[in-house]
Amino acid sequence: MWNAKNTPVFLPTESEYKILKALWKLGPSTVGEIQIHCSKDRPMGYTTALKFLQILLAKKAVTRERRGRRDIYQVAVKHEEINRILSLKHLDLLYDGVAIEWVRSALQHKWLKTKDLQRLIKPRKKAKRRKR
Task: Give me the helix-helix angle, 79-95 and 99-108, nearest 10°.
Answer: 90
Confidence of residue 20 (pLDDT cuts 50, 70, 90): very high
Residues 89 and 25 in one domain: yes
7 pLDDT exceeds 90?
no
Residues 131, 78 share a domain: no
Number of CB atoms found within 10 A of residue 24's CB: 13
**Residue 108 and residue 95 in contact, taking contact as beta carbons nearer than 8 Å:** no
Total number of domains in the chain: 2
Q: Indicate whether 82 and 113 sit together in one domain.
A: no
**Do 39 and 3 reside in the same domain of the chain?**
yes
Domain shared by 85 and 117, yes or no:
no
Amino acid letter, residue 49: A
Residue ranges of E strands in the chain: 62-67, 70-75
Q: Taking the complete model, does pTM exceed 0.85, yes or no? A: no
- Indicate which CATH number applies to the domain containing 14: 1.10.10.10
Averaged pLDDT, 91-112: 80
Question: In whole angstroms, what is the distance from residue 126 CA to residue 57 CA?
Answer: 43
* Segments forming the whole domain that contains residue 120: 103-132
Q: What confidence tens digit (pLDDT) does each residue in 55-91 have?
A: 999 999 999 999 999 999 999 999 988 888 888 888 8
> What residues have CB less than 8 Å from 33, skipping those under 6 apart?
26
Interior/surface letters 76-109, b for 16+ CB within 10 angstroms, e for the rest: bbeeeebeebeeeeeeeeeeeeeeeebeeeeeee
Name the pLDDT band for 132 (thresholds 50, 70, 90). Answer: low
